[in-house]
Chains A and B, each alone.
Chain A
């Protein structure tokens, strides 16, 4: 149940961020950030403990991967908050952190790493993809806030979000940056994964049915490729046909919905190749 400690701290931070968003009290805002930093530190400690216990970074199974993803997303969000001095996004990110962190808190323990999952390429594959997903999560949240603000300005009803969010331009730029970073890591992660699978299939893991199932017919791999196309299109559309702003924001949301689908239900129930 060691994962419950960061979960509780994330939940506390969520309450503080929501309170700050509604009341805009600077003291509450600072407490919210402090709670989130505490949560991230506790989470770092938990992952460190599990690493020492298992003798490797716990990213081999779906549950540990989710925990690591939450940790990365918290760090990525804290980085954006500190560099932009903008706390409004916290109230949108934290629910995701709390919801996902609930999974490792309910299913404790680190899965034993399957024997076939070895080599430096495997580590690069998993960490790149987790980092890409964290970037896409940020992009999605930024996109949602963009749409909320866009609608208020268009409707000429300058209210709740108008007073709290940064400008459309800033949100658009943050979204683009998050997508570019995510896309680069998604690409690296997928290529490295493919190389690893080819090596493993022809070599030490020739007998493992999961490694043999690693093809485009596997839902996990197929959906990842769909993601890659969605984000590639978004990058292309923003630069070539002026699909910035609201359309890019919608695409970010769609893209991350697919990522999440791939990350949780497909990992647990559907994939034949990635069920470690």
Chain B
């Protein structure tokens, strides 16, 4: 059994190609059915986000399956294989596991450490489970990747800290006010930047947004664009500021519109209720000295960008810790995956022993026929137990081997010693494997019934 991944991502393909290879268009379930229908794979999961389209499969012949998957991608999306080929990557074996673990941990994301990807990987697994295209190998692989995602989130700072200006502003507001629900926002200036920041605050649940602009018509238009916001004329600026918890200034004014004494005057009737001023205008709208007033928190665009840079730097310093977690989990998964190499041998060995037992019982049938049915059943049971006992230790030993070379050597030796020439597990007899390599013993009720 081999692991294989074929896909494209933001690292290899431009956005227009990624859009054409987006599985969401026709649906992941459709894609999974289509992959499974081609017969080159045993198990398949499709991971599809706006930044990546990846097909993870468990297969027998990696090279042939790779070619088949490329053909599938090209046919399914109606994209020329020659257009696709330079942007595709294929990863084999444990490297495919490492790739998935890095994806789930947010290490392969456009913005390192972004939290959505783990949910998307989980969705991919759920979709494949519903389409019944996952088996023991990919099940184990994906559950290990969830563990990686969870460990990276809880054990490293990879996902912490805001990495965009508007997100940084919102998280600062939350650190000052706690819950943003019930808070009110005033936007001074009717420009695009102010509108975007206000929209972001709104998505965090602030209850009122008021736009103030020198031109009332502009304010009204922006308020309408935000939806559920109100507009106020310029001469009501102080009233609006007095009522607001968060003020976003984004005018095109050449000189500060809010001086220190102006803000002081606004603060007096507030009885020191905190005021968070976000000055995203360039040149600045608020005199920096206003930030010295007790309970006034003033951040301008440079301050916000500095915190974003700090967070990005902190994230990149956490990358090594996250990579270490990925390495540990690849190791763990690898040990399990390699031990699976022993399963066909185990199955063949058990089959061999069982065949011998059955043959001997049949050969001695004429002697046993004088026994009562009860005694015959007992003979059957005892011989079965002897075989089980003989096989127990070798089975456990084989399964506990952690590296594939040793597994191969043992398998080779056992095949020679016990003449296990027949292909142990034919294609399509996978259910035997699913039961953990146990071949159900010689059907006992059959040996019990002949009279």
Residues on A facing B (Cβ under 8 Å): 25-26, 149, 153-154, 156, 158, 162-163, 166-170, 241-247
Contacts and interface: CB of A to CB of B under 8 A. Distances in A.
30 contacts: A25-B155, A26-B154, A149-B175, A153-B172, A153-B297, A154-B297, A156-B299, A156-B303, A156-B306, A156-B307, A158-B310, A162-B175, A167-B174, A167-B176, A167-B177, A168-B175, A168-B177, A169-B176, A169-B177, A169-B179, A169-B274, A241-B271, A242-B273, A243-B272, A244-B271, A244-B272, A244-B273, A245-B274, A245-B294, A245-B295
Nearest to A153: B297
Contacts of A167: 174-178
B230 interface: no
Contacts of A154: 291, 297
Interface in B277-317: 291, 294-295, 297, 299, 303, 306-307, 310
Interface in B243-288: 270-274
Contacts, number: 55
B74 interface: no
Contacts of A243: 272
A153 B175 contact: yes
Nearest to B296: A154
Contacts of B176: 153, 167-169
B160 interface: yes
A169 B178 contact: yes
A244 B154 CA distance: 35
Given A169-B179, A247-B294, 8 more contacts: A153-B297, A154-B297, A156-B299, A156-B303, A163-B157, A241-B271, A242-B273, A244-B271
The 8 closest A-B pairs by CB, nearest first: A242-B271, A242-B272, A167-B178, A169-B178, A170-B178, A156-B303, A169-B177, A167-B175
B147 to A, nearest CB: 15
Q: Which of B178, B179, B297 has the most CB of A within 10 A?
A: B178
Nearest to A152: B175
Chain A residues touching B, majority SS: helix
A156 to B, nearest CB: 5
Contacts of B271: 241-242, 244
A156 B155 CA distance: 26
Contacts of B274: 168-169, 245
Contact of A158 (B178, B272, B307): B307
A118 to B, nearest CB: 48
Contacts of A247: 294
A149 B178 CA distance: 13
Contacts of B155: 25
Interface of B: 154-155, 157, 160-161, 172, 174-179, 270-274, 291, 294-295, 297, 299, 303, 306-307, 310
Contacts of B178: 166-170
A156 B273 CA distance: 20
A210 B174 CA distance: 54
Q: Which of A149, A169, A170 has the most CB of B within 10 A?
A: A169
A25 B271 CA distance: 39
Contacts of B272: 242-245
A163 B310 contact: no
A116 B342 CA distance: 84
A133 B303 CA distance: 41
A163 B160 CA distance: 8
Given A167-B177, A242-B270, A243-B272, A25 B154 contact: yes
Contacts of A26: 154
Contacts of B161: 163
Contacts of A25: 154-155
Contacts of B299: 156
B269 to A, nearest CB: 10
A269 B177 CA distance: 45
Nearest to A245: B295
A241 B272 CA distance: 8
Nearest to A169: B178
A158 B211 CA distance: 29
B181 to A, nearest CB: 12
A240 B274 CA distance: 16
A267 to B, nearest CB: 37
Contacts of B295: 244-246
B417 to A, nearest CB: 48
A242 B295 CA distance: 10
Contacts of B179: 169
Contacts of A158: 172, 307, 310
A109 B102 CA distance: 60
Contacts of B160: 163
A1 B160 CA distance: 46
Contacts of A169: 176-179, 274
Nearest to B162: A158
B126 to A, nearest CB: 25
A146 to B, nearest CB: 11
Contacts of A163: 157, 160-161
A25 B155 CA distance: 6
Nearest to B310: A158
Contacts of B174: 167
A243 B270 CA distance: 11
A245 B296 CA distance: 11
Contacts of A162: 175
Contacts of B175: 149, 153, 162, 167-168
A119 B80 CA distance: 95
A250 to B, nearest CB: 12
Contacts of A242: 270-273
Contacts of A168: 175-178, 274
Nearest to A240: B271
